Amino acid sequence: MIPAAFDYKRASSAAEAISLISQYGSDAKFLAGGHSLLPLMKLRLAQPAMLIDIGRVKDLSYVKDAGNHIAIGALTQHMDVENSKVLHEHAPLLSKAASHVGDAQVRHRGTIGGSIAHADPASDLPATTLALGATYVVQGPKGQREIAAANFYKGFLESDLAADEMLIEIRVPKMQGAGWSFQKFNRRAQDWAIVGVAAWRRKGEAGVALVNMGSTPILATSVANAIAKGASISDAAAMASNEAEPQSDLNASTEYRKHLASVLVRRALEAASK
């Protein structure tokens, strides 16, 4: 439980953070809420030589109505996503997903940016923002760029984010009254999902993404396409795993995961269709 030795610098703005990370290169890591990074460091599975603490970059903690989308600062803690009135009105699915992250302590420390940047397929917010068709805004030494969530996740804990880039904002399209459901199946209330489903539905349109069903969060496009073509919910749900390649672990075999995904997608779409 004692990490390897490391240095520490605190950044007070995004610009300072980016300049620091460019300076220290690949041995450096951003530290946001620390709730994914520090456990890895304590087990010495991650041994960065330099931590650049962005946890106090307060101007990146916000939830704003930006017209057709909601803009969320990368350093916004899960608790604030959970409790945001703006999100309750325009993207309640994301608030609900945030309320399912770990326990209250985790939600008071962990950030939405950290969760997405970490790109853990078992995390709730990457899949949820993917289902909602979010866009991520990242800033690097050469300026800002936008990445569609659908193009962001590249592999297990791998994303399109360059080592010297920082995620600064998450843009979530307004849900415009769509029905929605977040289904998280786990053995203990505070655990990561064995399988999770984030889904919304507006008449013939639907968005469905899966948690922990492969090396990245998975967009279940077959399900959405089937719904668009007028398939029944249970027929659509049967395609839940078409895009997934779920792993096998202590809690679930590949086969059981696929089965769970179809049950949970069906339940999610039923709830979203009410």
Partner 1 sequence: MTITENKPANIIGTRLLRREDPPLLTGEAKFTNDLNIPGALHLSVLRSPYAHAKIKSIDVSAALKIAGVIAVYTGKDLQSAWAAPMPCAWPVTADMKNPPHFPLAIDKVNYVGDGVAAVLATNETASRDALDAIDVEYEPLKAVVDLEDSLSDKNIIHQDLGTNKSYTWPLLVEETPGCVAEAFKKAKYKVKERYVQQRLIPMAMEPRAIAAVPQPFGGDITLYSSTQIPHILKVMTAITLGIPEQQVRVVAPSVGGGFGSKLDVYAEELLCMALARKHNAPVRWVEERSENTQATIQGRGQIQHIELAADENGKITAVRVRIVGDMGAYLQLVTPGVPLLGAFLYAGVYDIPKAYDFECTSVFTNLTPTDAYRGAGRPEATYAIEMAIEALAREMKIDSFELRKRNYIKKEQFPYTAFSGLTYDSGDHLLAAEKAAKMTDLVGVRAQQKKQNVPGATKLLGVGMSSYFEMCGLAPSRVLASLNYSAGGWEAATVRVLPTNKVQVITGTSPHGQGHETSWAMIAAEKLGVAPEDVDVLHSDTAISALGLDTYGSRSLPVGGVAIALACDKVIEKAKLIAAHQLECSADDLQFENGTFSVKGSPDRALPLAAIAFGAFTAHNLPDGCEPNLEAQVSYDPPNFSWPFGTHMCVVEVDTETGAVEILKYIAVDDCGNQINPLIVEGQVHGGVVQGIAQALFEEAVYDSDGNLKSSNLAEYLVPAACDVPAITTAHTVTPSPTNQLGVKGIGEAGTIGAAPTVITAIIDALSSLGVTTMAMPASPQTVWRTINEATRGGKQ
Ligand X SMILES: Cc1cc2nc3c(=O)[nH]c(=O)nc-3n(C[C@H](O)[C@H](O)[C@H](O)COP(=O)(O)OP(=O)(O)OC[C@H]3O[C@@H](n4cnc5c(N)ncnc54)[C@H](O)[C@@H]3O)c2cc1C
Positions touching ligand X (CB under 6 A) are 29-37, 39, 54, 74, 101-102, 106, 109-111, 113-115, 117-118, 123-125, 161, 166-167, 192
Unique residue bearing structure tokens 């939600």: 107
- From the CB of 152, what's the least distance to ligand X, in Å? 12
Strands of the chain (E only): list them: 7-10, 28-31, 50-53, 63-65, 69-73, 135-140, 143-148, 153-155, 158-159, 166-173, 179-185, 195-202, 205-211, 218-219
Three-state secondary structure string covering 79-102: HHHHHCHHHHHHCHHHHHHHHCCC
**Other beta carbons within 10 Å of 260:** 24
Nearer residue to ligand X within complex by CB, 82 or 124:
124
Residues 4-63 that bind partner 1 (CB under 8 A): 4-5, 43-44
- From the CB of 121, what's the least distance to ligand X, in Å? 10
- From the CB of 253, what's the least distance to ligand X, in Å? 21
Antiparallel, parallel or unpaired: β 166-173 and 135-140: antiparallel
Tokens linked to 119: 């790109």
Nearer residue to ligand X within complex by CB, 161 or 213:
161
Residue 260 touches which member of partner 1, ligand X, none, C-beta under 5-8 Å by kind: partner 1
Nearer residue to partner 1 within complex by CB, 12 or 253:
253
CA distance 151 to 147: 7
Unique residue bearing structure tokens 């179809």: 262
Residue 33 touches which member of partner 1, ligand X, none, C-beta under 5-8 Å by kind: ligand X
Using the rule CB under 8 A, give the single segment among 17-25, 93-101, 159-167, 260-268 that binds partner 1: 260-268
Tokens linked to 263: 């049950």
- From residue 177 to residue 216, what is the string marking binding to partner 1 with x (rule CB under 8 A)? --------x-xxxxxx-x----------------------
Residue 125 touches which member of partner 1, ligand X, none, C-beta under 5-8 Å by kind: ligand X
SS3 call for 214: coil
Nearer residue to ligand X within complex by CB, 48 or 207:
48
Cα angle vertex 45, ends 44, 51, to 5°? 75
- Residues contributing to the site for partner 1 (CB under 8 A): 1-2, 4-5, 43-44, 185, 187-192, 194, 250-253, 255-256, 259-260, 263-264
